[in-house]
Amino acid sequence: MDHRIEITIPDDGRHAETGDRLIEAIYEFLPAADAVIDQNLEAGLLTAAFFLEGGTATEAAKAGVGLFELAADRAGMETPDSVSLAVLPQAR
């Protein structure tokens, strides 16, 4: 089963270039990610959504958070104090 991973973090969405750097980093680590970045510049929220193939929801959550951490570090982002995580089964 494939999964759509959605990770939302506060504060890093205030600058458009942050989202640009993050999506480039996600594709660097996972070229088939089908990633989308949504930002609310005023509120500072940034959501990264991408697909992972196979596994259970728990496995996808672990892999998704790991990928996000690597990509965020590559994008020069600081580790957030809080995140919102959604793992949704998807047929693609």
Binned at pLDDT 50, 70 and 90, residue 92 comes out as low
Short-list 13, 1, 3, CA closest to 50: 3
Is 90 exceeded by the pLDDT of residue 31? yes
Describe the strand order of the beta sheet including 2-9 as a list of residue ranges: 36-40, 45-52, 2-9, 84-90
Q: Greatest CA separation found in the chain?
A: 36
Q: Which tens digit of pLDDT belongs to each residue from 37-70?
A: 999 999 999 999 999 998 999 999 999 999 999 9
Q: What is the fold of 2-90?
A: Alpha-Beta Plaits (3.30.70)
pLDDT of residue 91: 78
The region of weakest confidence among 12-16, 20-24, 88-92 is 88-92
Per-residue burial over 6-22, b = 16 or more CB atoms within 10 Å of its CB, e = otherwise: bbbbbebbeeeebbebb
pTM: 0.92
